[in-house]
A and B are shown apart, each in its own frame.
Chain A
Amino acid sequence: MSLKSKLQRMKGHLSLENDKSREAEQVQAALQGGAAETAQTDAIVEQEVQTPDQTAQPDIPYADRWQSMQARPFVWEDEHVMIREVRYPLRQQHGAYSFAQLHDTIAAWEASGRLHPLSAAGKRADDLLFFDTETTGLSGGAGNTVFLLGYSRVEGEEVVVRQHFLPAPTAEVTLYHSFLEQAKQSSHLVTFNGKSFDWPQVRTRHTLIRDQVQALPTFGHLDLLHGARRLWKDELESCRLAIIEQEKLDVYREDDLPGYLAPVRYFDFLHSKDPDVIQGVLRHNEIDVLSLITLYIHVSRLLLMHEREEVSQEERYEIARWFEALGDGETALQAYLTVAHSDHPWSVRAKLAVGHLYKKQKDWKSALHIWESCMSSPGYVPEEVYIEAAKLYEHQLKDWEKALHYTRLAYEQWKKRGSLLRNRSKAEELAFQKRIERLEAKEDMRGML
């Protein structure tokens, strides 16, 4: 019996990889009446098309289609990759900002003198490579191929989007060669989740061909996902780039190909070699790398100009927390105070935080002052405020009567809240009781003396 026929017979037992994304695409196509590919509008006008280099063209299927998509071949060691290049003037607006504002942002970091992982102080605009990849799978691993390395970068008076595309898996050496020649002119990557996904995956694929390609440069890395999560985790339904674009950056995509369909489009391309199949993926990646510039400008402005009116109190509070975590108590205090003095519901938690910062500076008086002002505010006051005040009275000011008073207030409130939620922790209750007993004992001691 031939192996082939046996394979066919055994097919039911073989776990052949069923293409979930392929099914998803069919569903999507059905929903949209097959319109996913047809509408191809350019949200951005004023594109300057660079004439592709006509001289060194190997035999490339659909060469004219590629050309009309602003892509030209790059040939090295008998293999070619396609490099698509799109240029925009600096004054071009992308969402809420123009690209030119990147220069202002860098200058602002410079002027602020603040230490922050997202700071661009001391860098030139073209040091920053706004970078994103497309891969054949979502999980990291040796077999997940990076088939598109895309980035945007300020080059003189323009922003250039350059996409290095792998037209066949045999051309990976050429892909990385072409990419690294360009990329090494910058010193820092700016990405969205690139620290844990894109760059490790690039490193993985590079390792497989490390004897044939130059070493990877050591880039600095500004990952904007971390900041986005800090600022908007509670506010947005998810911290995906597409959501942030809509909610925060005023970038609206039309007929965008969802990122999860990229692998299956690429597999189709490998069979048909038709660039139209992959065009949606290129376009999607292009907007991604452009939005990274906008997002970077936006997040930097929030961090550097948190006193501005457009910044929401929630954002301001999170910004303060971030600076506090970085050890910049001074900046954190300023931002917290703005929230604390507002009539926003978060002013209470901001006051609590301000008190903690004062306490850290051993400024007991100011800490108590702000906590006590907090207690007199009309809204709900968390027990923590009373407990913190009690602690200060007990340990620093040795005023046990006051400490006992606040502890009892906290305990009463805790009991009320607990019966409301029908959920009381025995450990918490015990902690209250112990504290009260201890303070009562101290009070008694004093009374006896």
Chain B
Amino acid sequence: MKMKKSMAEILEHFRQDERFLANIAHWRTIPARDAKTVSFPSQLDARIREALEKRGIPSLYTHQETSFRHVREGKSIVAVTPTASGKSMCYHLPILQTLSEDSQARALYLFPTKALAQDQKSELHELITEMGLSIKSETYDGDTPANIRQMVRKAGNIVITNPDMLHSAILPHHTKWVSFFEHLKYVVIDELHTYRGVFGSHVANVIRRLKRICAFYGSYPQFICTSATIANPKELAEQLTEEKMELVDNNGAPAGIKHFLFYNPPVVNRQLNIRRSATLEARDITEQFLVNGIQTILFARSRVRVEILLTYLQELIKRKLGPKTIQGYRGGYLPSQRREIERGLRNGDIMGVVSTNALELGVDIGQLQACVITGYPGSVASTWQQAGRAGRRQGESVVVMVGSSTPLDQYVIAHPEYFFDRSPETARINPDNLIILVDHLKCAAYELPFREGETFGSAEIVEILEFLTEEQVLHHSKGKWFWMNDSFPAHNISLRSASQENVVIIDITERGNERVIGEMDRFSSMTLLHEEAIYLHQGTQYQVEKLDYEEKKAYVREVSVDYYTDANLAVQLKVLEQDQYRREGQRAFAYGEVSVHAMATIFKKIKFETHENIGSGPIHLPEEELHTNAAWIGFSDTLLEEIGTEDVERGLVGLAHVLQHVAPLFVMCDPMDLHVIPQRKAVHSQEPTIFLYDRYPGGIGLSEQVYKEMETILAQAERMIVSCPCESGCPSCVGATDDGSKELAMTLLRVAQGGSAYVS
């Protein structure tokens, strides 16, 4: 029997193995970092200091001390430090200090997920016990028993919850929390960087409501935020809380050596520049770690990928480790399942986990030695978050990022400096998105009547209040707007999903034992839960027997097949209003409001391993309509004459393919949130046009950002096509592989950048 290899031996093996080494595009060793410390502040309570000393902590890291000082001076702060740098001490210390002086004071801790809240509760309880302070801290979420809830409301010094709970259970019932709101001194927002896009825009409004309720009870809390590295933490924190922020970024925590490998799968078809599947390569690399007993996390880009990889690995490892030691982890699993997996990872029962970005967040799963990332996660910040899962504390660790054939992955693999030298992305929110704002104005009016002249953050609200009055949701009387409706608005508003109503997934395999195994937002369900779709859950395959779109239920039955399904979405787009416009030569850039009609059309059955198409079928689902914002590039009609209608069309498709991958980079969003579609003859102008639109009704500022940075994005797209080693186009750049596709996309790019169709 072979001996298990250590991490150092595996790395050595990688260096020796020529086949492996040939695929390593870049090997960066990030050196260890020494600690920078400062002695405890003199005003720190002796009990707190002694408890820390007993833990073997003789001093504070620089960022912890700076945070303490600022908060004690009454400032709101945002602390930005990497994973495992002790950033929770940035808020624990000043808050515990205040609570040791004032037993009446209250603090609210907000975590983006329940799992994180649970983690922090345990950590906080330990701290408080060791310090011998009489401070009550408790989680308040859907799992909190009724008798404890009352205690938390009346006497909890630190209430740990999530924004959803604040939105739907605390704020609408604020009269049960009188003494809490009267004495609220601090609001902690951990994992600030997760509050971006739709979710962040919702949460910004929840915070507006929170501040409004606080003001009603006479409190004006300070905000303490912590964030992973993003380009604009201060701006994001200020937008989210509408408070002036101090930035704390003098990280003093040490870190161990980390090896960061860019792995590019070998080319299997040189002419078409087709590489071996990243999924298969990632699987093989992960297997090498696992069989040597190295706890490994494998990240996949989508829920489907997670399940495919899980199936592969469980099959491979079964005889060697026992099937339970590899687990999947993603949204759609039930909370209890997730808690169990987290525990298994911490205590070592689980050797490997296959995850979506759900585990990017600071859920405590202990220290993993290896991390394999399938495909570039789409943003620099997200990549560092995933990479941070390996070697959180000290010691040697390795991260392998396996590139896929997409243009973006190939670009990043070929330009490591892009990743290592670039500042991470900017997180954007748009709290004034009309739909989101209207939702929260209703909730706010339910909580307290609006007075004339009252503000709601920086939003314009009078016209909306009048609109809601006309719609008989509010009642206007003597200068006040009153909620006057029999519903409970917060129950109809979800902070997380665009379509607001999720489809529940029901397993009907066993008669008499039907059970809910997960849920999914409605828009995704069009392409993932249509009838005959293969839905994967914890490595088990299910076929959708019936999708009841009205009742939002998908009935699935367990099956065993050797394929998965992939659905097509047909999209029509119309311009409603052009807000901004600039023209140069044969092209124009514009930004405005559009309506999009999307309809799932057909699905394909794709065989595992070979990925060949083995069948297809129609999807019968109603059309979904979306009003949103878009940026677009219009080309002059003269171009059609110059290079021919058909070629313009092919060029548009190719360029759209590239932009779909480049644009999300610049606005820091999931490629799912920003869609790109080409039109040979746009309805509003009759000209060839490429649209980039926000996937959320009303837009969340992505396309507006695209409009502003159009020049940069186009330049980046050009670089991507030029650097692709294929001959005339491939899936890694313009998508199509037929002759001249690449050249046609380049032609349009030149025109789009103000040049002419022909190279002079």
Contacts and interface: CB of A to CB of B under 8 A. Distances in A.
Contacts of A143: 172, 445-447, 483, 488-489
A145 B484 CA distance: 8
A137 B485 contact: yes
Interface in A213-266: 263-264
A264 B486 contact: yes
B175 interface: yes
Contacts of B463: 2-4, 7
A138 B486 contact: yes
Contacts of A17: 442, 473, 485-487, 489, 492
Given A142-B174, A169-B477, A270-B475, A7 B438 contact: yes
Contacts of A136: 484-486
Nearest to A9: B627
A15 B493 contact: yes
Interface string A7-31: 1011011111101110000000000
A328 B579 CA distance: 78
B572 interface: no
Contact of A9 (B178, B448, B475, B576): B576
B482 interface: yes
B608 to A, nearest CB: 39
If over half of B's interface residues share one DSSP class (helix, strand or loop), that class is named, otherwise mixed; here it is mixed
A28 B230 CA distance: 58
A203 interface: yes
B434 A16 contact: no
Interface in B395-435: 434-435
Interface string B462-499: 01101100011101011010111111110111000000
A207 interface: yes
Contacts of B471: 16
B109 to A, nearest CB: 23
A264 B446 CA distance: 17
Given A137-B487, A267-B472, A142 B172 contact: yes
A140 B488 CA distance: 9
Contacts of B475: 169, 267, 270
A6 B486 contact: no
A6 B173 contact: no
A16 to B, nearest CB: 5
Contacts, number: 116
Given A16-B471, A267-B472, A139 B488 contact: yes
Interface residues of A, number: 39
Interface in B488-543: 488-489, 491-493, 500
A205 B176 CA distance: 11
A407 to B, nearest CB: 33
B424 to A, nearest CB: 32
Given A15-B493, A142-B174, A168-B477, A3 B488 contact: no
B467 A4 contact: yes
A141 B460 CA distance: 26
A263 B627 CA distance: 33
A170 interface: yes
A267 B484 contact: yes
Interface string B580-608: 00000000000001000000000000000
- Which 7 A/B pairs are nearest by Cβ-Cβ distance? A143-B446, A207-B175, A263-B486, A13-B697, A143-B483, A169-B482, A17-B487
Given A136-B486, A140-B173, A169-B482, 10 more contacts: A3-B460, A7-B438, A10-B434, A16-B471, A17-B486, A141-B173, A142-B173, A142-B174, A203-B175, A208-B175
10 contacts: A4-B463, A7-B463, A13-B435, A143-B172, A143-B447, A143-B489, A169-B477, A170-B480, A207-B178, A208-B175
Interface of B: 172-176, 178, 434-435, 438-439, 442, 445-449, 460, 463-464, 466-467, 471-473, 475, 477-478, 480, 482-489, 491-493, 500, 576-577, 579, 593, 625-627, 697-698
